C-alpha cells in the first residue's frame, strides 16, 4: 500500500545503518544494526497503535473544537458552512496530515531533522514548527490554569459567579442575568472572569503584579504535564487512554442534558440553519481552511514528532482518516452542545441568540458558567465541564512540548545526555522554561497573550492595544517564521559550487532510499510467490 504498510525503518540522521541481507528459505530479512551515536539510546516506540491514535486525536481535539468551530459555523452560514469545511478537510486536511505522518514515520525523526533529511532546503520549516509549538505551549497552559481555577472554585458552597454579592463585584453595574446589549451592565460571570480571575488593570501599559493563585496553578499545570510525558511515549501512551476519551463521555452527557432544556432547540436551529449566500464569500472558505489547519494541527510539528515513534510498518493511511474524521465529528458534536446551552440562555433571559453567542475564552469561561448557574444540578456539571477542558488542554500540551524534546534529542542526543544524564531531566528543563515564559501571562495585565495575534489586538469592544503592543505581537510572530528563510539561506550558503548547483544539492534528499525499496520489492515478490505455491498445493 506504500508508506506505512510493509516497509522497514530508516536510520536517524546521525546514525549509521548496516543492512545485512540473509536468505533463509527464500525469505529476505533486513537486519538493522544502528550505532546509537546520535541519541545515546534506542528510539522508543508506542506500545500499541491505539496509543498513537488516541494521542493524535487528543492533540487534534482541543479547546478550539469547543469554543471556535461552533461559533465559526454559526457566523459563516450555519449548515452551509459544512460544505466548504468538508471540502477543505478532504482537499487539504487529510492529505497534509498523511504527509506529516509519512515524514515522521518514514524518517523516524522530528520535524527539524526529518524535513532536513528529505529536503535540506526546508530545514528552517521544521525549526519554525518547533518554535511555533513551544510559543503556543507557553500560553496554552495558561488556559489550563484558568480551567483549574474554575474547577477548584466549583466546589464551594455556591458557584462564585452566580451572584453579585462578592468582594470583587461592582454592584452598580453587575447583573445576575445576561445583560445582552445593555453596555453599562456586566453579568456576574463576566465580572468573576475579569475582576476575580484576571484582576484586570486599565491597560497593557500597567502590567500589575503576578496573580499568585494563578502562579501556583500554572506550576501545578506544568507539573501535571511533566509527569505525563517524562517517560516519553511510554508514559504519554498510558495517560491518553483517559485524557483523550473522557471529553467524549462529557460531551455526550452534556448533549443529553442540554437538549432537554427549554430553548435548546432554538439554539441548535441557529447553529444549523443554512445561509447559502455565505458560500459566495471568499472569507468563509478561508475560515474553513484555517479551522481545518488549526484544529487538526497541521504545520505545528506535533504530528510529525508523534509519528516518528511509530513502528515502521504502521498503516498511517488508516490512522489519518481515523484522526481527521474523529476531529471533525467532535467539532460538530461540540456545536450541538454549545448552541443548545446558548439557546437555553437566550430563552431564560428573553434575548436573541446573537446577543449571547460568542467564541474564544469568553464562551467557556463566561457564557457557559452563566448557563451552569441556572441549570439543574449545576454543582455537578460545573466541575465536570472544567475538568473536561483540562483534559482537552493536556492532550494538546503533551504533543506541543514533545516537539521540543524530540528536536533536541534528534540533534544533540549525546551532548544532552552527557549534561542531563537522563532524558527525564531534559523534559524537566523544557517544562521549566515553558513555565517561566508563561509567567507574564498571569500578571494583571489585560490578556497579554492576545498580542500575538496578527489582527488588530483588542480586548472586548472597548479597549484597543497600543502600537507598541502591536509591534511586539508582530515580533513574536516573526520569531517563529524567520527560521524558514534563514534555514534555506544557510543551506544554500554551506553548499559548494554555483548557485544552481547549491540549490540542486539543497533540494536533494540526504539519504539514498533505493536499496531499502529494492529489498522491500524482493520481500513482496517472495510473499506473493509463497502464497501461490501454498495455494497450488
156: phi then psi, degrees, rounded to nearest 5: -75, 180
* Sequence-separated (6 or more) residues with CB below 8 Å from residue 203: 445, 446, 463, 466
286 is in an annotated binding site: no
- Distance of alpha carbon 165 from alpha carbon 160, whole angstroms: 9
Find the Cα–Cα–Cα–Cα dihedral 194, 197, 203, 207, rounded to 10°.
Answer: 170
Alpha carbon 400 to its chain's center: 7
Q: What share of the chain is helix, strand, coil (3-state, %, to 5)?
A: 70, 5, 30
275 is in an annotated binding site: no
61 is in an annotated binding site: yes
- Distance of alpha carbon 167 from alpha carbon 144, whole angstroms: 25
As a three-state string, the secondary structure of 35-52 is CCCCCCCCCCCCCCHHHH
Element spanning 198, H or E: none
Q: Are 476 and 454 in contact (CB under 8 A)?
A: no
295 is in an annotated binding site: yes
In the chain, the largest separation of any two C-alpha atoms, in whole Å, equals: 91
* Sequence-separated (6 or more) residues with CB below 8 Å from residue 177: 187, 349
Assigned C-alpha cell, 512: 539514498
104 is in an annotated binding site: no
Closest CA to 300 of 166, 137, 160, 67: 137
Q: Do the bridges between strand 463-464 and strand 458-459 make them parallel or antiparallel, or are there none, so unpaired?
A: antiparallel
- Distance of alpha carbon 520 from alpha carbon 163, whole angstroms: 69
Assigned C-alpha cell, 348: 431564560
399 is in an annotated binding site: no
* Sequence-separated (6 or more) residues with CB below 8 Å from residue 149: 197, 213, 214, 217
Alpha carbon 168 to its chain's center: 34
As a three-state string, the secondary structure of 87-107 is HHHHHHHHHHHHHHHHHHHHH
60 is in an annotated binding site: yes
As a three-state string, the secondary structure of 262-276 is CCHHHHHHHHHCCCH
Annotated binding site: 58, 60-61, 65, 295, 327, 392, 395-396
Binding residues for Na(+): 58, 60-61, 65, 295, 327, 392, 395-396
Amino acid at each position: 500500500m506504500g508508506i506505512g504498510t510493509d516497509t522497514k525503518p530508516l536510520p536517524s540522521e546521525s546514525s549509521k545503518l548496516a543492512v545485512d541481507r540473509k536468505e533463509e528459505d527464500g525469505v529476505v530479512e533486513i537486519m538493522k544494526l544502528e550505532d546509537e551515536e546520535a541519541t545515546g539510546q534506542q528510539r522508543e516506540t508506542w506500545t500499541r497503535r491505539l496509543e498513537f491514535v488516541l494521542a493524535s486525536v487528543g492533540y487534534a481535539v482541543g479547546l478550539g473544537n469547543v469554543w471556535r468551530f461552533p461559533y465559526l459555523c454559526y457566523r459563516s452560514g450555519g449548515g452551509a458552512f459544512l460544505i466548504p469545511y468538508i471540502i477543505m478537510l478532504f482537499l487539504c486536511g487529510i492529505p497534509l496530515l498523511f504527509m506529516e505522518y509519512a515524514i515522521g514515520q518514514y524518517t523516524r525523526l522530528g520535524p527539524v531533522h526529518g524535513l532536513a533529511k528529505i529536503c535540506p532546503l526546508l530545514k528552517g520549516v521544521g525549526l519554525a514548527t518547533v518554535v511555533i509549538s513551544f510559543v503556543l505551549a507557553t500560553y496554552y497552559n495558561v488556559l489550563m490554569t484558568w480551567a483549574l481555577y474554575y474547577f477548584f472554585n466549583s466546589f464551594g458552597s455556591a458557584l462564585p459567579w452566580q451572584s453579585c454579592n462578592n468582594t470583587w463585584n461592582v454592584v452598580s453595574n453587575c447583573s445576575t442575568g445576561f445583560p445582552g446589549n445593555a453596555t453599562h451592565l456586566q453579568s456576574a460571570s463576566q465580572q468573576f472572569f475579569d475582576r476575580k480571575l484576571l484582576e484586570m488593570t486599565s491597560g497593557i501599559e500597567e502590567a500589575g503584579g503576578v496573580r499568585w493563585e494563578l502562579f501556583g496553578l500554572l506550576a501545578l499545570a506544568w507539573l501535571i504535564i511533566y509527569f505525563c510525558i517524562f517517560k516519553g511515549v511510554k508514559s504519554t501512551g498510558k495517560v491518553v487512554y483517559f485524557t483523550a476519551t473522557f471529553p467524549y463521555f462529557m460531551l455526550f452527557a452534556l448533549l443529553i442534558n442540554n437538549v432537554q432544556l427549554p430553548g435548546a432547540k432554538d439554539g441548535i436551529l441557529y447553529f444549523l440553519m443554512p445561509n447559502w449566500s455565505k458560500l459566495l464569500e471568499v472569507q468563509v472558505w478561508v475560515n474553513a481552511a484555517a479551522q481545518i489547519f488549526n484544529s487538526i494541527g497541521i504545520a505545528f510539528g506535533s504530528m510529525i514528532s508523534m509519528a516518528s515513534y511509530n513502528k515502521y510498518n504502521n498503516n498511517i493511511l488508516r490512522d489519518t482518516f481515523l484522526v481527521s474524521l474523529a476531529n471533525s465529528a467532535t467539532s460538530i458534536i461540540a456545536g450541538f452542545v454549545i448552541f443548545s446551552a446558548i439557546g437555553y440562555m437566550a430563552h431564560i433571559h428573553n434575548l436573541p441568540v446573537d446577543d449571547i453567542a460568542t467564541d474564544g475564552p469568553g464562551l467557556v469561561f463566561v457564557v457557559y458558567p452563566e448557563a451552569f448557574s441556572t441549570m439543574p444540578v449545576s454543582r455537578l456539571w460545573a466541575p465536570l465541564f472544567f475538568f473536561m477542558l483540562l483534559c482537552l488542554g493536556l492532550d494538546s500540551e503533551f504533543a506541543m512540548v514533545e516537539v521540543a524534546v524530540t528536536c533536541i534529542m534528534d540533534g544533540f542526543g549525546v551532548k544532552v545526555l552527557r549534561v542531563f544524564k537522563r532524558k527525564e531531566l531534559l523534559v524537566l528543563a523544557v517544562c521549566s522554561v515553558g513555565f517561566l515564559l508563561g509567567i507574564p501571562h498571569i500578571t494583571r495585565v489585560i490578556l497579554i497573550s492576545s498580542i500575538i495575534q496578527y489582527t488588530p489586538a483588542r480586548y472586548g469592544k472597548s479597549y484597543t492595544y497600543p502600537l507598541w503592543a502591536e509591534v511586539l505581537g508582530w515580533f513574536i510572530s516573526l520569531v517563529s517564521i524567520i527560521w524558514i528563510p534563514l534555514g534555506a539561506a544557510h543551506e544554500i550558503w554551506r553548499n559548494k559550487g554555483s548557485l544552481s548547483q547549491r540549490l540542486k544539492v539543497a533540494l536533494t534528499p540526504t539519504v539514498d532510499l533505493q536499496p531499502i525499496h529494492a529489498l522491500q520489492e524482493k520481500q513482496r515478490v517472495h510473499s506473493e510467490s509463497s502464497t501461490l505455491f501454498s495455494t497450488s498445493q
